[in-house]
Structure 1
Amino acid sequence: MKTAILYVGHGSRVEAGNQELLSFIEKTKTQFPDIPIQETGFIELTSPTIVEAVRACVDQGATHIAVVPVLLLTAQHAKEDIPEEIEKAQKQFPHVHFAYGKPFGIEPTIIDLIKQRVEEAGLKSVNHRPAFEEREEVTLVLVGRGSSDPEQTSDLFKIARLAWEQTPIKDVEVCFIAATHPTIDEGLEKAARLKADTIYVIPYLLFTGVLMKGLEKQLAELNQRSDKIFILGDYLGFDDHLIEVLKKRTVEVLAKLG
């Protein structure tokens, strides 16, 4: 038995986003020094593909491959696209055993990271769960990638509520870049109707790309024609704190291989 780890990222048209992922995974690889075969594949938009990355593992002698999705939430990519590619690889390499893991999901580390991003954008920092009287008259808008999968959208609403519990804000809203409602326009319009004059917008994204660039432009236009102040915070990114989350998910799927 020779085990390999295959990390699977989404892929981006913007090469900087792909490099962010690769750099993050290089750091994660050091958490598993006893597993020399560790490769990365992408779902779309760049290479290597998942099947190509599987082949790279097999060429190095792998007989058991732990496939770990480097994705924030469970949606079509995690439920359908990656399993379909694993099935293709299984047909090409019938002697290889595969085990498949879970996306990051809802983790305390991620809630802490959202809190950190809002504080970096200008919100006052607190080291405790704020009482209602301590909450500032500001709104937080979390912007997700979007999916037709209800599990993905409901998870982001739960994450938004958990973020509200940890930050001194009055309101939190959720909207999506594509595939579902509320859209970005709908979410920002709703936030603008609330009492708060300051609205922090945090992209719930792992990497930079065309989605992030479009959001920057949209908020710049809003600030020119609105009496509200829209402040765009940094996207989650491949923050070093997330290495522990990815390590946890990798350990889980390695256990399935025995």
Structure 2
Amino acid sequence: MAAPALVALAHGSRDPRSSATVTALVDEVKALRPDLRIEKAFLDLSRPSFDTVVDRLVRAGHDEIVVVPLLLVAAFHAKVDVPEAIANATARHPGLKITATDVLGLEPRFLEVLDERMRESLRAARVRELDALVLAAAGSSDPLANQAVARLARVWGSHHKLPITAAYAAAAPPATGEAVRQFRAEGRRHIAVASLFLAPGTLLDRATELALEAGAVAVSAPLGAHPEIARTVLARYAVGAVELVPV
């Protein structure tokens, strides 16, 4: 029996850098598991669409699909958009089995990726001293999603023994600029911002602009196509594939 196909499902963006990052990440996943049929897809704004990819897999003879949402928090897209997309696809293809895994989430091991991206940005800015950190995320209207970001920030700050605050690009305060200004009001002058985003885009650009205007000494690149992220995609897939096995 062939293994279920893996669809890495991202939200999508008008920014071509976002889809390029998703493509690079999926290429990392394929390199780890060349035996699997692995496809990228997008919910909106980018191509290929989820429906297009599902149709392609069905034509190729696949009757089981594991969808791994490329999302960092379990908010609206994970709770509404992904289930709706799967329901529509299964309605169009009777007999097709599709299961969605948990989102990528905010795994503690992603802090290692944040550290790596932060070191890169500090080297580029020739910064050798820090006295505060800001963890910048997209933000959500779901308070539980924002609380998850805040918890990860506390873990990261504790690891580095530095004061830290979470900031959000939309939907929730504080914005990155506000977070940086608050630290500066406390007398701190070496404040770096880590980007808890999977890929570049308008929200991250705005968060970066606000942080630098407020006096941040460095802003890191997003997590991107990192091997650790790729391994997490495969870990989610493994759980989803087991769920498709008949009991």
TM-score by length of 1: 0.85
Q: Percent identity at matched positions?
A: 26
| Equivalent residue for 1:233, pick from 214, 220, 223 | 220
In the TM superposition, what whole-angstrom CA distance separates every residue of 1:64-86 from its partner, at most 9, and x where no partner exists?
A: 11111111221111111011110
Instruction: Kindly indicate whether residue 95 of structure 2 is the aligned counterpart of residue 95 of structure 1.
Output: yes
Say whether residues 1:218 and 2:210 are aligned partners: yes
AA aligned to 2:146 is T
The verdict on how the C-alpha distance between 1:205 and 1:117 changes in structure 2, with shifts beyond 3 A counting, is same
Equivalent residue number for residue 118 of structure 2: 118
Letter in 2 for 1:195: G
Unaligned runs of 5+ in 2: 124-128
Task: Give the aligned residue type for 2:117.
Answer: R
> CA contact under 8 A between 2:10 and 2:41: conserved in structure 1?
yes
Q: What are structure 1's unaligned runs of at least 5 residues? A: 124-135, 224-228
Amino acid at match of 1:113: V
Mapping for residues 17-96 of structure 1, pairs under 5 Å:
17-35=18-36, 37-96=37-96
- Which AA in structure 1 matches 2:218? I
**Distance of aligned partners of 1:254 and 1:45 in 2 relative to their CA distance in 1, 3 Å threshold:** same
- The answer to whether the aligner puts 1:162 opposite 2:162 as a matched pair is no
Quote the residue 1:209 is aligned against: 201
What is the number of residues matched between the two proteins? Answer: 239
Cα gap change, 1:61/1:192 in structure 2, threshold over 3 Å: closer, same or farther?
Answer: same
Deviations 1:132-157 (A, max 9, x none): xxxx7611011110111122111101
The offset of 1:177, in angstroms, is 0.6
Instruction: State how far apart, in whole Å, the 2-side matches of 1:67 and 1:188 are.
Output: 37
C-alpha deviation, 1:96, in angstroms: 0.2
Q: How far did 1:27 drift?
A: 1.8
Task: From the superposition, tell whether residues 174 and 9 of structure 1 become closer, same or farther in structure 2 (CA, over 3 Å).
Answer: same
Letter in 2 for 1:91: A
Task: After superposition, give the CA deviation of every residue in 1:138-182 in whole Å (9 maximum; x if it has no partner).
Answer: 11011110111122111101110111122142x101111111222
* Cα deviation code 1:208-239 (max 9, x no counterpart): 1222322333334334xxxxx53222222222
Asked if the contact 1:142/1:174 (under 8 Å) is kept, the reply is yes
The Cα RMSD (Å) is 1.9
Which AA in structure 1 matches 2:29? Answer: T
Query: Residue 198 of structure 1 aligns with which residue?
Result: 190
- SS of residue matched to 1:61: coil
Counterpart CA distance in 1 for 2:106 and 2:204 is: 22
TM value normalised by structure 2:
0.89
